[in-house]
Amino acid sequence: MSNQDYKKLFTEVIKKQIVLLGPAITLAKARNVKGLTILDDGTVSEISGNPQELIQALIDQFVQLSGLIVKKTMEPLLNIHSSGISLPVNPVIQVAQAQTLPVQPVAQNL
């Protein structure tokens, strides 16, 4: 893949997350990835570093976030039912270790 293809892939991933999570959360998480320069609309304008490592780092940012989302959505249910069930203290690590997502070129997803 060319550098331009990777920019398109990163941009597509980020823009899909913007639809799901909103721009503030998505851009904050995506900008945690050192080596990516991201415009306010989610477009990746620069990549510096190994694109394979950067895409994994970007995916990891969203996987970590999904662990927090699961915890926050489950807490009210557990509080209502008070059955002694509790969530893990750090579900983020468990989720992040359990998932590795394959990356496919943008053209294959269309």
**What are the structural domain ranges in the chain?**
3-105
- Which of 1 and 84 is assigned the larger pLDDT? 1
Q: What are 68's two structure tokens?
A: 């927090």
Instruction: For 48-64, write each residue's pLDDT tens digit.
Output: 999 989 988 998 898 88
Average pLDDT estimate for 2-13: 92
Q: How far is CA 66 from CA 46, 61, 70, 73, 105, in A?
A: 26, 9, 6, 10, 23
Residue located via tokens 């009210």? 76
On the question of pLDDT at 31 being above 60, the answer is yes
Mean per-residue pLDDT over the chain, rounded: 77
28-32, 42-46, 85-89, 103-107, range with the lowest pLDDT? 85-89
Contact of 60 with 95, CB cutoff 8 Å: no
What is the identity of the amino acid at 3?
Answer: N
Q: Where are the extended beta strands (E) located within the chain?
A: 36-38, 44-47
64 by Cβ neighbours in 10 Å (0-12 / 13-18 / 19+) ranks as middle
